[in-house]
Amino acid sequence: MKVAYSVPKFTELLFISGIILLIIPIAGAAEFVRQSAPNTSECSLLDGQKPSVYLIRDTAWDDPETARMILRNNSSCRIILTTIGKQTIVKPGGKISQSSDPVAEDGASIVLEYKFNSVKEPWAFISYWPYGDTVSTLTLNGGHSIKFLVLAKYLQGKRGIAVPFHYEWEGFLGGTSVEHLVYFH
């Protein structure tokens, strides 16, 4: 039995084979990515009445130039924040210490990156980071909170602040290029 192929038929078969050989590795890679996706089902709210991450103003702070904010991680997942790397910790009895531990102690005061909105464009946020190249990250455990100062003028009128953060399971500094923001108006 003799089989004859024409050049167009041979080209068509070659093209189809090439597409199949191209699709198989892509499908395998897509399956690998799907299987290695982070499992976020472990994350849950600690207090169902509050958001997963939220900001409140510390009413005990009395300074006309600054406001002290409390950022609370109300989820069971750890979050990553941008800081200068040092946290001030007030121990029982008033003893003050500084730690460069990459995990924030509950209630620590830190210098935190935040954004404030423009007066002319209320939804246009500008980063507040006057510390040059001094950048570090800090992990905040689930159920913990930290304190940080903001300029009081950024909370007057219809202005507000936003704090960027990433979930630890997203990778270093949000490897997915996703930036979460928690707002306070």
pLDDT in tens, 67-100: 999 999 999 999 999 988 778 887 767 778 888 7
Give the integer Cα–Cα distance in Å for 53 and 56.
10
CA 123, 49, 77 angle in degrees (round to 5)? Answer: 75
Which pTM was predicted? Answer: 0.72
* Domain ranges within the chain, ordered by starting residue: 1-37, 53-184
**CATH fold label, 53-184:** Immunoglobulin-like (2.60.40)
Direct distance between the N- and C-terminal alpha carbons of the chain, in angstroms, rounded to an integer: 82
Q: Which sign, positive or negative, has the C-alpha torsion 129, 151, 55, 101?
A: positive
Q: Which sign, positive or negative, has the C-alpha torsion 133, 54, 57, 105?
A: negative
